[in-house]
Chain A
Amino acid sequence: MLNLVSLILLFPLIGSAINGLAGKRLRKETVGYLACGAVGLSFFVSILVFCGLLLLPPEERLFEKRLFSWIESGSFRSLAALQVDPLSTLMILTVSGVGFLIHIYSIGYMHHDKGYHRYFCYLNLFTFSMLLLVLSNNFLLMFIGWEAVGLCSYLLIGFWFEKKSASDAAKKAFVVNRIGDFGFALGIMLIFLNFHSIDFTEIFSAASHGNFETGNFAITMITLLLFMGATGKSAQIPLYTWLPDAMEGPTPVSALIHAATMVTAGVYMIARCNVLYTLSPFTMTVVASIGAATALFAASIGLVQNDIKRVLAYSTISQLGYMFLACGVGAFTAGVFHLMTHAFFKALLFLGSGSVIHALSGEQDMRKMGGLKSHIPTTYKTFLIGTIAIAGIPPFAGFFSKDEILLEALIRGNFIYWSIGAIAALLTAFYMFRLLFITFHGESRVDHHVMEHIHESPKNMTLPLTTLAGLSFAGGFVGIPGASAINHFLSPVFGGHGHAEISGAETAEHHGAGLPYLMMVISTAIAIAGIFLAYQMYVKKPGLPKRLAERFRFIHKLLLNKYYVDEIYDAVFVNQIKKISTQILWKGVDVRVIDGSVNGIARLVGGIGNIFRLLQTGYIRNYAFYIVIGCIFIVVLAVFGR
């Protein structure tokens, strides 16, 4: 069954090719079913591969499928080969599963769009790229997937490219990702220099067999550069600014980017390279600090945003920060676990917000919503489940993963990490319920023209919602502390290297058996406090937020403008580079040197021509005169030349 793994990649690729090349001539239904079928088959094969992997004993759960030899140059060898192990299997299940649901949802959501086939072509290609990224067994092939994901995000964010803001957002995403990719590419080169291989298995076994001491400079550089790539792709400080703007794309695309593909790539990559990262305590500190900072920073911005999708975007950045915090303290399992549960509820929340936007004929501003509870009941119920899950109320999925991260942050990290994580959790619960209350509860502030058209979404949109709601509810049970199935499943990837990779529950025993339970109570209390606060502010006393905003006008404005980070980047980087480009590169190098030399040659030829042009007078007798002179010259030469 493991041999089937290449089919997982093949189906979406074929689907994308057919829709891209012939989609215009196919009927809409065919295009939709083809795309969904392709990803659905991928998901089915992923399940088969997962079952095949489960049949093997845990220590043998590593399978390589060689496709072909790709590049061979001197000592550099790169195979196009796929790797099946617990980590990649978990990823393909999440990617193809959530991706499949988003595809189904898209059939309903994009039904009226004229770029229907183009959309599904990109969507399939996106899924393919992400699957390639997580399945590859070496850095180069991973890099191909990494870049292809970036390309697809560009195409899909700028899907409505007639809108200037959409094409700008697409360009921004592409350029910001480019900065991270630059670091990633350098990291790969450095890896080849140090390990003489780009193959995961070879590198990690070389690294774990003590060839490099802890804190080795080369390893630190490699991991930092790789992390630079991860900050770009996974939207961490300082390269997170593209993600909120990426909301310009269609809502299912946001769901796909935020849940299944793209932003999880960075977390996956760090989890994949856990051996290298654990060798460099400095990088680990950097990862954890940036993760914690991002979690808090993005959550605080999310508090005051009014665009329903933007709140969710900042929430994603914040949750990704959690995952990096987990990876940074060495709790890779917790990070990947949160990645999975986050994929469920974030996809649910995005698709739910898409359903709201769909019902309101494209309205995204929460100030123009309210009281939608009774109009779109299915959306409301599923959205509520997603919100509870992300807020971290037991027994929903988000509780287990977030609780585990907080616990690990306290045990392996320090109190500062824990407290930042806890504050971010409080903020998360608050802003998510603020979103829920403003959108679904209270009085309706909907425009009455829009109100007439308000309707619950069609079946093919609500079905993915209910499925994801089920997953958001039950998805956490694979990681119940103490009897964590996911911990056990992933242990061959994270545990087999002789590092201090002890599951949270075991470590807790050294700190006293009560700690995990105490932590559970505390994190539940934090979540409930956040919800209570939101309830007080947005349901009980609706005037309170406004008064608070006026009281703390400076802070409110700062948050509303996202700490002016975009403006600062514009002033410090974008405009400076523009200035250099215009003044020196354009007006100096391009106009003067390049254009100048080309034009100069032309002018030289023209000048010489101008001299010779004088010979061509247009008077026949002048030409005849030249002939006579020529004749005389020849005669003279013939007579006297001897």
Chain B
Amino acid sequence: MITITHYLVLSAILFTVGVTGVLIRRNAIIIFMCIELMLNAVNLSFVACAHYLNSMQGQLFVFFTMTVAAAEAAVGLAIIVAVFRNKETVNIDDINIMKW
């Protein structure tokens, strides 16, 4: 029997993987993927909770999140492509001209 706890633990593991990825990786695309991972980890917990509570609200939020994630993916990838064209790299340690 798979209980709500399993779902939430999996969600937490996925989220932690995402956060760790954002913090330690240098490749912008991988960071980007990690962000997607975090979003979907949250989605998982939303759905699980919605099922557990017999409420549609959680499912509704998932749609919002997916919409935002899609938009973000489009914009974010476009930015990464633009940065790559300018600097020939996607290593975020090299993209630091905003520093004083």
Q: Judge: A and B partners, yes or no.
A: yes
Q: How far is the CA of A616 from the CA of B31 in the complex (A)?
A: 20
State whether B99 touches A625 (Cβ < 8 A): no
State whether A621 touches B22 (Cβ < 8 A): yes
Cβ of A112 within 8 Å of any chain B Cβ, yes or no, is: no
Question: Would A619 and B100 be within 8 Å (CB), given that A624-B23, A628-B23 are in contact?
Answer: no
State whether A618 touches B98 (Cβ < 8 A): yes
Cβ of A620 within 8 Å of any chain B Cβ, yes or no, is: yes
- Enumerate B83-100 residues with CB–CB distance to A below 8 Å: 92-93, 95-96, 98-100
Q: Residue on B with the closest CB to A622?
A: B23
State whether A618 touches B23 (Cβ < 8 A): no
State whether A621 touches B96 (Cβ < 8 A): no
Least CB distance, A618 to chain B, in whole angstroms:
3
- Chain B residues, Cβ within 8 Å of A624: 22-23
* A contacts with B: majority SS: helix
Q: How far is the CA of A506 from the CA of B25 in the complex (A)?
A: 118
Q: Residue on B with the closest CB to A618?
A: B99
Q: What range describes how many residues of B lie at the interface? A: 10 to 19
State whether B22 touches A617 (Cβ < 8 A): no
What 0/1 readout, one digit per residue, does chain A (600-627) give for beta carbons within 8 Å of chain B? 0000000000000100111111001100
Cβ of B2 within 8 Å of any chain A Cβ, yes or no, is: no
Cβ of B24 within 8 Å of any chain A Cβ, yes or no, is: yes
State whether A621 touches B92 (Cβ < 8 A): yes
Total number of residue pairs linking A and B with CB closer than 8 Å: 26
State whether A616 touches B23 (Cβ < 8 A): no
- Enumerate B1-44 residues with CB–CB distance to A below 8 Å: 19, 22-26, 31
Question: Would A625 and B23 be within 8 Å (CB), given that A619-B92, A619-B93 are in contact?
Answer: yes
State whether A617 touches B99 (Cβ < 8 A): yes
User: Which of A613, A621, A628 sits near B100, CB closer than 8 Å?
Assistant: A613
- Chain A residues, Cβ within 8 Å of B22: 621, 624
Q: Residue on B with the closest CB to A628?
A: B19
What 0/1 readout, one digit per residue, does chain A (622-636) give for beta carbons within 8 Å of chain B? 001100100000000
Least CB distance, B58 to chain A, in whole angstroms:
20
* B contacts with A: majority SS: loop
- Chain B residues, Cβ within 8 Å of A621: 22-26, 31, 92
- Chain A residues, Cβ within 8 Å of B26: 621
- Chain A residues, Cβ within 8 Å of B100: 613, 616, 618
State whether B96 touches A618 (Cβ < 8 A): yes
Q: What range describes how many residues of A lie at the interface? A: 10 to 19
Q: How far is the CA of A495 from the CA of B93 in the complex (A)?
A: 100
Q: How far is the CA of A624 from the CA of B93 in the complex (A)?
A: 13
Least CB distance, B55 to chain A, in whole angstroms:
22
Q: How far is the CA of A404 from the CA of B26 in the complex (A)?
A: 107
State whether A616 touches B99 (Cβ < 8 A): yes
- Chain A residues, Cβ within 8 Å of B96: 618-619
Least CB distance, A621 to chain B, in whole angstroms:
5
Least CB distance, B11 to chain A, in whole angstroms:
15
Least CB distance, B99 to chain A, in whole angstroms:
3
- Chain B residues, Cβ within 8 Å of A619: 92-93, 96
Q: How far is the CA of A559 from the CA of B93 in the complex (A)?
A: 84
- Chain A residues, Cβ within 8 Å of B31: 620-621
Least CB distance, B41 to chain A, in whole angstroms:
14
State whether A620 touches B92 (Cβ < 8 A): yes
Q: Residue on B with the closest CB to A613?
A: B100
Q: How far is the CA of A35 from the CA of B69 in the complex (A)?
A: 85
Q: How far is the CA of A331 from the CA of B95 in the complex (A)?
A: 94
Q: How far is the CA of A625 from the CA of B31 in the complex (A)?
A: 13
Q: How far is the CA of A621 from the CA of B30 in the complex (A)?
A: 13
Q: How far is the CA of A624 from the CA of B25 in the complex (A)?
A: 12
Q: How far is the CA of A617 from the CA of B93 in the complex (A)?
A: 10
Least CB distance, A612 to chain B, in whole angstroms:
11
Q: Residue on A with the closest CB to B93?
A: A619
Q: Residue on B with the closest CB to A620?
A: B92
- Chain A residues, Cβ within 8 Å of B25: 621
Q: How far is the CA of A223 from the CA of B100 in the complex (A)?
A: 69
Q: How far is the CA of A618 from the CA of B100 in the complex (A)?
A: 8
What 0/1 readout, one digit per residue, does chain A (150-177) give for beta carbons within 8 Å of chain B? 0000000000000000000000000000
Q: How far is the CA of A624 from the CA of B24 in the complex (A)?
A: 10
What 6 A-B pairs are tightest by C-beta distance, nearest first? A618-B99, A618-B96, A621-B23, A620-B92, A624-B22, A625-B23
What is the interface of chain B, defined by CB distance below 8 A to chain A?
A: 19, 22-26, 31, 92-93, 95-96, 98-100
What is the interface of chain A, defined by CB distance below 8 A to chain B?
A: 613, 616-621, 624-625, 628
Contacts A/B (CB < 8 Å), 26 sampled: A613-B100, A616-B99, A616-B100, A617-B99, A618-B96, A618-B98, A618-B99, A618-B100, A619-B92, A619-B93, A619-B96, A620-B31, A620-B92, A620-B95, A621-B22, A621-B23, A621-B24, A621-B25, A621-B26, A621-B31, A621-B92, A624-B22, A624-B23, A625-B23, A628-B19, A628-B23
Q: Could you list 9 further interchain pairs (A-B, Cβ under 8 angstroms) beyond the known A616-B99, A618-B96, A621-B24?
A: A616-B100, A617-B99, A618-B98, A618-B100, A620-B92, A624-B22, A624-B23, A625-B23, A628-B19
